[in-house]
Amino acid sequence: MGGVRLFCFPFAGGGSRLYQPWRAALAEHADVRPVVLPGRETRIGERPHQRIEPLVEDLVAGLRPQLGDRYALFGHSLGALVAYEVARRLAELGEPPPQVLAVSGRRAPHLALHPPVLHTMTDADFAAAVMRLGGTPDKLLRNPRLLAHFLPVLRADYEVNETYRARRQPPLDCPVVGYAGDADPLATGTQVGAWRDTTTGPFRQRVFPGGHFFLRDAPAVLHALTADLSTGRVPVRTP
């Protein structure tokens, strides 16, 4: 399955850096294509979106010409939600489904988030809350110059996540794999397992050691993703 194009969506505030090493690690199995959201990296001059719908329309417009014959989607945390909605929009546009949708570190979209809501906090409280969650370098959150640019982007990402409301719509028709950290307080194994309800295709759940950002510290994730990409269809649907 070396020709499959794997589009990777970042967590809130994240960029393509997390996925750059995957290009070499997965080279025999996939053409890894990190997705860059507005407001960062090569799109730093663009205003970040604050709602899921315009963000998805923006990304789909750029991704459709790149899909090729075979593609897969991967996303972590907010990226999992975005990858799912991108898959939904592509289906609405008549595109073939992804060979695999891999969703990591995010509860299923039909499960409501619980307070506190972070994106409405003051800058100081928001930065402190994000620092407690981890995933964002402390040196960035403590640097006033960097923070002045980064905070609006991060806040917009949180607003996308926290204002999201699942719509009543048909399930996907593709394999879905849910990746969970065994100590993740934001997306428990049960909550990740609920992704099984988003597809009529096969579903599989994988659990890794670690908290919400287990993705950074678990080489086993790449091994699992390699297996899921190589099969193209994940094993039997779990009950």
Q: Per residue in 220-238, is it b (16+ CB within 10 Å) or e — as a string?
A: ebeebbbebbeeeebeeee
Verify whether residue 77 is a known catalytic residue: yes
Residue 117 C-alpha from the chain's centroid: 19
Compute CA distances 58 → 41, 71, 196, 231, whole Å: 16, 18, 27, 30
Task: Given the residues 29, 49, 76, 212, select the one marked as catalytic.
Answer: 212
Neighbour-count burial of 95, counting CB atoms closer than 10 A to its CB (0-12 exposed, 13-18 middle, 19+ buried)? middle
Per DSSP bridges, beta strands 4-9 and 71-76 are parallel
Verify whether residue 119 is a known catalytic residue: no
CB 185 within 8 A of CB 219: no
3-state secondary structure of 4: strand
> For the chain, what is the radius of gyration of the CA atoms?
17
Task: Given the residues 29, 49, 76, 77, select the one marked as catalytic.
Answer: 77
Active site residues: 77, 212
